[in-house]
Chain A
Amino acid sequence: MISASLLIVPTIAAALVWIINSDRARRFLLVLTAAVNLLLSGASCLIEPGELFRGWIAPDEISKLFFCITGIVFLAASVQTVKYLHREAEKRKNSPKKAYEDDEMSERGFISCLLIFLSTMNLVICASHTGLMWVAIEATTLASAPLIYFHKNNHSLEATWKYILICSVGIGLALLGNLMLYEAMQLNGIGTQMLIQDIIKNAGALNKGWLEASFILFLVGYGTKMGLAPMHTWLPDAYSESPSTVSALMSGALFNCSFLGLLRIHQICVSAGVGDFSQELLKIAGLLSMGIAAVFIIGQTDYKRMLAYSSVEHIGIMAFGIGTGGIAVYGSLLHTLNHSIVKTALFLTAGNILAAYGTRHISDVKAMVKEVPATGVLWMAGLLAICGFPPFGTFITELTIAKGAIESGNYLSAGLYIGFLALIFAGISKIMISMAMGSGCLVPEKQKSQLILPAAVLIVFSVILGLYIPDWLSEAVWQISLKFGAQ
């Protein structure tokens, strides 16, 4: 019941957007749907959400965690979107250039795409059929492409084209992985239905060679969508060119969905006894992503791109954690929650900075603490959190992963992991200080009014998670991590 409404409510709202004629009502509908979605996500943890279509849609424990993350991120982003759309409308009214006739159209399309995007993400999370999951992940690409193109200039067009082409080719490879997984089942005569639970039950009988081949293709395919290096090339462009609320959604919610796709295949590998193979690949890909992110964060000139590379870093951390096994798997899964919260807050704040200073160049933004104090403080807090500083939740999870890496006895990878974290911390803190301190840049008075509530709430939430993790949460995450190779 709940799983059905999680899919249907946003879809209906997306259709309603085309009927409602008032700007204000449409924006209200967006926030309302986001709130309902979060409530439903919360309810799914308490009441069994239920299966649909003969088990094709069957949310399990990890789905509930990811529903909640998506719900939180989407609500924060949609509140900020209202402010953003309002500002854009004002800008258009005041601009001397003749306004396009399709402006209202584009706002309708934007809100409607946001809602469809939410619905497809929910579908990814609760799909328990590998084919259906593939369809849903490709659908998220298609629903988010128009969002990136919202500004309708040549930069956003370039970013959109790269996003569509690279991600679609990547996801195409994941389809090939699906076929190979099917082959691995067929060769040894395990059913014809690709329900994940059924595959896991019979995992021992899977053909190992084909399964390994299919995991590689899934890693490349869904890895492209997540932004795992070296398939991350579309990511900085798409994150930096799209409206900040969209970047927040992509890195806070979409990112987890593709990660979940990969996790499910990893789960199959673990139960089939080729967990070592998939762990090794995840570990290497994770460290590579962290290394590449470190190189590009140091000396970065654009703060939104810096955040994008930080997302590449964090997907690396998560993949590394899953690959390390043991307690690091627990850390990794909890890190998805922590990272989503902090990164969403950061992208929303980055949108505020962009609105105040009108530039994405790090060197042109100065004295934020003096000019826009609230935004400045949030920005500093967020950047400290993303580097894994106490008292934020990310500190605990990054530390847990480090602990797992050291316990696993592979000191080289543990050393590299900690080394990259340190490098990235150095890179980000230099940027943070130069943007927050100093003097010079004056912000016009009328650009100072900003909506900081969503980001502030998220940062507070992250602090709470850093100081106190409720028992039920850690117990639930621990139960999930047992399925993904934690012992």
Chain B
Amino acid sequence: MNEILDILIATLLLTDMMLLASSRLAFCIKAVAFQGLIIGLMPVLISGGGHENREILLIAIVNIAMKCLVLPFLLNKASKMAHVQREIEPFISYPVSIMLGISGIAISFWACSGIALPDRIISDIATPAAISMIFTGLLLVISRKKALTQALGYLVFENGIYFFGTSLFQEHSLIVELGILLDVFVLIFVMGIAVFHISREFDHIDTDKMQSLGDWEEEIEEKEGDEVTG
């Protein structure tokens, strides 16, 4: 049992790396959906057969349906409507991203070795993997230019937090779980609409071109000038 879990967790770490290395959006969306599948299955695998099984199963089904089907569908639709297929020239280049991701994994393993974790933890590598996943998500949010990739990064971040909860094997109540899922769903929905509007308004979804708001006028004018020439 534990070996299967360890393999699944290792797969999660690998998908993190793939996300950091890949520029194709369609692939990234698939990778995030795959992560959602693993993370959704995890509580079912851990619980095996308990008296609360039905509730866990229900949460797992809603979770997988949301993260593997609905959200990827929304993101795919947004990417089609906004005519974007790939991320071009992120703020942090792909090799550097991967290096940062690997150091993130190393740091989270090192940090978790010092914390008093509860005995009922599911696997030794679960908590550090969850923390490194949160780190990967944040890295994607800050290092990518396209609005859609940032939304994907947020999903990885959220998956990481969810996995962190699972790794400590805590049972949140049904309502809270569903509430969190609903929030994430609406968030991605709103983001999808925003991406569509950004592409209509700016003819691209590069958020680094969004620089018209600032505090110093000289700075704003300079940037606007840049946009005309560049």
User: Chain A residues in contact with chain B, CB under 8 A?
Assistant: 56, 129, 131-132, 134-135, 138-139, 141-142, 145-146, 149, 152-155, 157-162, 164-165, 168-169, 172, 175-176, 179, 182-183, 186-187, 192-193, 209, 236-237, 240-241, 296, 300-301, 305
Is there an interface contact between B213 and A158, defined as CB atoms closer than 8 Å?
Answer: yes
- Give every chain B residue within 8 A of A131 (Cβ-Cβ): 172-173, 176, 179-180
Beta-carbon nearest neighbor of B131 in chain A? A176
Is there an interface contact between B154 and A172, defined as CB atoms closer than 8 Å?
Answer: yes
Interface 1/0 per residue, B194-230 and A, CB below 8 Å: 1001100110000100101101010000000000000
Q: Determine the distance from Cα of A45 to Cα of B187 in the docked complex, in whole angstroms.
A: 35
CB contacts under 8 Å to A, within B128-164, are 134, 138, 141, 147, 150, 154, 157-158, 161, 164
Is there an interface contact between A241 and B213, defined as CB atoms closer than 8 Å?
Answer: yes
Q: Determine the distance from Cα of A237 to Cα of B150 in the docked complex, in whole angstroms.
A: 19
9 pairs of A and B residues whose beta carbons are closest in the complex: A135-B179, A131-B176, A158-B210, A138-B183, A237-B213, A154-B201, A179-B165, A142-B186, A176-B161
Give the secondary structure class of A's interface.
helix
Question: Given A169-B141, A172-B157, A172-B161, are A187 and B190 neighbors across the interface (CB < 8 Å)?
Answer: no
Beta-carbon nearest neighbor of A296 in chain B? B215
Does B116 lie at the interface of the complex (its beta carbon under 8 Å from any beta carbon of A)? yes
Question: Given A159-B213, A305-B215, are A175 and B180 neighbors across the interface (CB < 8 Å)?
Answer: yes
Is there an interface contact between A187 and B187, defined as CB atoms closer than 8 Å?
Answer: no
A-B contact pairs, 25 of them (CB 8 A): A56-B175, A132-B179, A134-B180, A135-B183, A145-B190, A149-B197, A152-B197, A157-B194, A157-B198, A158-B210, A158-B213, A159-B213, A161-B194, A161-B210, A164-B190, A164-B194, A165-B141, A176-B161, A186-B170, A187-B118, A209-B116, A236-B213, A241-B213, A296-B215, A300-B215
Q: Determine the distance from Cα of A247 to Cα of B161 in the docked complex, in whole angstroms.
A: 31
- Give every chain A residue within 8 A of B173 (Cβ-Cβ): 131, 193
Q: Which of A149, A155, A300 contacts B213 (CB 8 A)?
A: A155
- Give every chain A residue within 8 A of B183 (Cβ-Cβ): 135, 138-139, 142
Is there an interface contact between A176 and B164, defined as CB atoms closer than 8 Å?
Answer: yes
Q: Which of A129, A141, A154, A168 contacts B202 (CB 8 A)?
A: A154
- Give every chain B residue within 8 A of A176 (Cβ-Cβ): 134, 161, 164
Q: Which of B154, B171, B172, B213 contacts A169 (CB 8 A)?
A: B154
- Give every chain B residue within 8 A of A129 (Cβ-Cβ): 176
Is there an interface contact between A157 and B213, defined as CB atoms closer than 8 Å?
Answer: no
Is there an interface contact between B176 and A153, defined as CB atoms closer than 8 Å?
Answer: no
Q: Determine the distance from Cα of A154 to Cα of B138 in the docked complex, in whole angstroms.
A: 25
Beta-carbon nearest neighbor of B207 in chain A? A161
Q: Determine the distance from Cα of A129 to Cα of B183 in the docked complex, in whole angstroms.
A: 17
Does B168 lie at the interface of the complex (its beta carbon under 8 Å from any beta carbon of A)? yes
Q: Determine the distance from Cα of A160 to Cα of B182 in the docked complex, in whole angstroms.
A: 20
Q: Which of A179, A186, A187 contacts B164 (CB 8 A)?
A: A179
CB distance from B194 to the nearest CB of A (A): 6
CB distance from B204 to the nearest CB of A (A): 12
Beta-carbon nearest neighbor of A154 in chain B? B201
Does B191 lie at the interface of the complex (its beta carbon under 8 Å from any beta carbon of A)? yes
